[in-house]
């Protein structure tokens, strides 16, 4: 593959990932064009531009500078990542031990349990109810125990 001759490179500056953004004037062209040079470029022209930039042939490469905007963007991205992870974790079912048995928990289980607990507080409610544990065994619970299970 033919290497394009370079007449000039200007405005070279490192990027966060170690690549170099610059403007390149190729032989036979009249205007500089934006170019991103990378150390692992597989194209011969890209390899040559990287080598010439690193050698200092076209001047100093301005170092990458961390700005307050970049810090804010990184913090925001990390916050979003943590929030997505937390949302995923909170949606997961889990089990816990209470009163000598293992019980299902998590949003789905609680969504089924809370209405029953609320109904149990009415004057016409039964005094006991069977509720399935994590092993799908029916356990007879008093309304007080049902409320305790919901609170556990």
pLDDT digits (tens, 9 = 90+) for 56-108: 999 999 999 999 999 999 999 999 999 999 999 988 888 989 989 998 888 88
Q: How far is CA 75 from CA 41, 69, 71, 87, 89, in A?
A: 30, 10, 6, 18, 21
Instruction: Report the distance separating Cα 66 and Cα 71, nearest Å.
Output: 7
DSSP 57: T
Residues near 31 by Cβ (< 8 Å), separated by ≥ 6?
25
pTM of the model: 0.52
Task: List the chain domain ranges.
Answer: 6-55, 94-151
Instruction: Please compute Rg for the chain using Cα positions.
Output: 33
């Amino acid at each position: 593959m033919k290497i394009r001759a370079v007449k000039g490179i200007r405005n070279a500056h490192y990027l966060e990932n170690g690549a170099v953004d610059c403007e390149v004037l190729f032989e036979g062209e009249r205007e500089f064009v934006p170019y991103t040079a990378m150390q692992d470029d597989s194209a011969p022209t890209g390899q040559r531009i990287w080598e010439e930039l690193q050698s200092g042939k076209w001047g100093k490469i301005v170092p990458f500078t961390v700005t307050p905007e970049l810090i804010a963007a990184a913090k925001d991205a990390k916050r979003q990542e943590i929030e997505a992870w937390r949302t995923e974790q909170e949606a997961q079912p889990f089990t816990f031990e209470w009163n000598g048995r293992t019980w299902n928990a998590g949003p789905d289980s609680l969504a089924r349990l809370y209405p029953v607990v609320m109904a149990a507080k009415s004057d016409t409610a039964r005094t006991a109810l069977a509720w399935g544990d994590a092993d799908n065994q029916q356990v007879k619970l008093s309304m007080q125990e049902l409320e305790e299970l919901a609170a556990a």
